[in-house]
Amino acid sequence: MNKTLVIAKREYRAAVRTKGFLITLLLLPIFMGGGFIVMAITKDKVDTTDKRIAVVDQSGRLGENLKHRAEERNARDIKDSVTGVKKFPAYYIDLITPDVTDLNGQKLKLSDEVRNKKINAFVQIGPDVIHPQPGKEQSRICYFSENSLMDETQNWIGYVLNDKIREIRVAEIGILPEKVRDLFYWVNMEGMGLISQDTRTGDIKAARKSDVLQTIMVPYILMFLMFMTLMMSAIPLLQAVMEEKSERIAEVLLGSVSPTQFMMGKVIGGLAVSLTTTGIYILGGVFSIKAMGMGDIIPYHVLPWFFAYMLLNIIMTGCMFAAMGSTCNDSKDAQAIQFPAMLPLIIPMFVMMPVIQNPLGSFATTMSLIPPFTPMLMLVRQATQVTIPIWQPIAGLLGVLIFTLLSVWIGGRIFRSCIIMHGKRPKMGLLFKQLMKG
């Protein structure tokens, strides 16, 4: 057997036969999907404890209506019409007469009541809200609570108050509210995917409504998978090579193989590990998604690109990490170098969201054509539902290919000269000299 493959085989077996590998294999989907699973579970779990809201109505025209609408809602909307199970909290409105002499004192008292859990929140309606002066204190409606950003109650009250304000304004100009009911009906725009034609049957497939699952999760999962495979295959090479160097295993092996064979054997071993893990995940993912009846969200056309990018990315990153490992003498050196070395992998994670949101934008295009970022970011763009111009993935892949060859060459040279060099970690200048000299 080829010596490189003998090394690769050993690396593969050493990695796959550990308990750590099995544990990571099992835990990874949990880490990856954890957030989404929690979101999915908690989505339907609405807090149904009743809410008591104090209202200080300085305008004097909105409070009564609000109280009335809340009572209507409590009677009609909070229970499931069929099962009678409570689905939403009831809202109780306490109308408080504004204390004109000491409004701030009154607000402080109400705040303390919120803190003491006597009420959940209080609302202050300014005196001029019907005919507001923009920017004026008098024209505001304020909702005071401990967590005023994420609050369903606030939305509901805001809607009811504005509804009433509109009604009053319409009545004031002498139009009957019934005549303009449609005036305020907001028609929501729904995001849809494109119409496509089934290549076999010729049928036109209906457009699907785009949802979060598809626009974000599919690219996210593919990118995360790539990141995690790199974490499991290429990044450990830094530590492994450092250990082989410091434990003097390297020189023993160099008695039988050339440094390049040694390095490539390790990288190919890592590659085989990642093919195993991604193979398991992708097959598992495809089967379970199909079993859930969502087979049409699997981006089959992206999978070959995924594997091509992954292959090159692991070789590219692996060679670099192996080379950097060869410059380290102990784990302190390795730790110091690890974070900067990981930046090319972390940056794509940072910019993932803007790229998913606007895959055709110049930011996304430029970033995804920078070779170290291409495997992850081009993949993300391709996995979105937007059609990327075909030259871009091809150019990206070519760039990555060139970059990978360069990494193998540079990595090999650094590895060769550093793997048996003990003592101080070489400085950049020396590394560059060795790179040139070979």
Partner 1 sequence: MTNIIEISGITKTFGSHVAVDNLSLAVPEGSIYGFIGPNGSGKTTTIRMIMNILYPDNGSIRIFGEEQTGSNIGRIGYLPEERGLYRKMKLRELIQFHGELKKVPNPGKEADYWLKKFDLEPWAKKKVETLSKGMSQKVQFIVTIIDKPAIIILDEPFSGLDPVNAEVIREVILDLRKSGSTVIFSTHDMSVAEKMCDFIFMIYKGKKVLDGTLQSIKDQYGQDTLLLQTDLGSAALDDIDGIDRINDFGQQQEVRLLPGTDPQKILEQVILRARISRFEMSSPSLEDIFIRIARPEKNNSHE
Q: In terms of CB distance, is 251 or 296 closer to partner 1? A: 251
DSSP-assigned letters across all residues of 213-265: IIIIIHHHHHHHHHHHHHHHHTTHHHHHHHHHHHTTHHHHHHTTS-HHHHHHH
Question: Can residue 328 be called a binding residue for partner 1 (CB under 8 A)?
Answer: no
Are 57 and 65 a contacting pair, CB within 8 Å?
no
Give the binding-site size for partner 1 (rule: CB under 8 A): 21
**Least gap, CB of 9 to partner 1 (angstroms):** 8
* Residue from the set 232, 253, 320, 376 that interacts with partner 1 by CB under 8 A: 253
Determine how many CB atoms are found less than 10 A away from the CB of residue 64.
14
Question: Can residue 130 be called a binding residue for partner 1 (CB under 8 A)?
Answer: no
Q: In terms of CB distance, is 1 or 173 closer to partner 1? A: 1
Determine how many CB atoms are found less than 10 A away from the CB of residue 299.
18
Q: In terms of CB distance, is 6 or 231 closer to partner 1? A: 6
**Least gap, CB of 253 to partner 1 (angstroms):** 7
Question: Can residue 427 be called a binding residue for partner 1 (CB under 8 A)?
Answer: no
Q: In terms of CB distance, is 46 or 420 closer to partner 1? A: 420
Determine how many CB atoms are found less than 10 A away from the CB of residue 300.
9
**Least gap, CB of 328 to partner 1 (angstroms):** 16
Question: What's the Cα-to-Cα distance from 51 to each of 80, 143, 157, rounded to whole Å?
Answer: 18, 14, 12
**CA dist., res. 303 & res. 225, Å (int):** 12
Kindly provide the b/e burial profile for residues 118-130, where b requires at least 16 CB atoms within 10 angstroms of the residue's own CB: ebbbbbbbbeebb
* Residue from the set 178, 190, 198, 247 that interacts with partner 1 by CB under 8 A: 247
**Least gap, CB of 224 to partner 1 (angstroms):** 29
> Which three-class secondary structure state does DSSP give residue 351?
coil
Kindly provide the b/e burial profile for residues 413-432, where b requires at least 16 CB atoms within 10 angstroms of the residue's own CB: bbbbbbbeeeeebbeeeebe
**Least gap, CB of 238 to partner 1 (angstroms):** 17
Q: In terms of CB distance, is 309 or 415 closer to partner 1? A: 415
Q: In terms of CB distance, is 194 or 249 closer to partner 1? A: 249
What is the length of the chain? 438
**Least gap, CB of 47 to partner 1 (angstroms):** 52
Q: Identify which range of 178-186, 203-211, 215-223, 253-261 contacts partner 1 by CB under 8 A.
A: 253-261
* Residue from the set 196, 256, 288, 357 that interacts with partner 1 by CB under 8 A: 256
Q: What is the DSSP letter of 201?
A: T
Quick note: the x/- pattern for partner 1 over 3-22, rule CB under 8 A, is x--xx--x---x--------
Write out the two tokens for 308. 């091509």
Question: Can residue 252 be called a binding residue for partner 1 (CB under 8 A)?
Answer: yes
Which of the residues 207 through 246 are near partner 1 (CB under 8 A)? 244
Which of the residues 344 through 383 are near partner 1 (CB under 8 A)? none
**CA dist., res. 381 & res. 371, Å (int):** 15
**Least gap, CB of 399 to partner 1 (angstroms):** 32
Q: In terms of CB distance, is 3 or 208 closer to partner 1? A: 3
Residues 17, 19, 22, 25, Cα dihedral to 10°: -110
Are 374 and 396 a contacting pair, CB within 8 Å?
yes
Are 403 and 316 a contacting pair, CB within 8 Å?
yes
**CA dist., res. 380 & res. 285, Å (int):** 17
Question: Can residue 257 be called a binding residue for partner 1 (CB under 8 A)?
Answer: yes
* Residue from the set 284, 402, 420, 432 that interacts with partner 1 by CB under 8 A: 420
Q: Which helix (H) or strand (E) holds 75?
A: helix 63-76
* Residue from the set 24, 74, 239, 258 that interacts with partner 1 by CB under 8 A: 258
* Residue from the set 102, 112, 137, 251 that interacts with partner 1 by CB under 8 A: 251
**Least gap, CB of 240 to partner 1 (angstroms):** 10
Residues that bind partner 1 (CB under 8 A): 1, 3, 6-7, 10, 14, 244, 247-259, 420
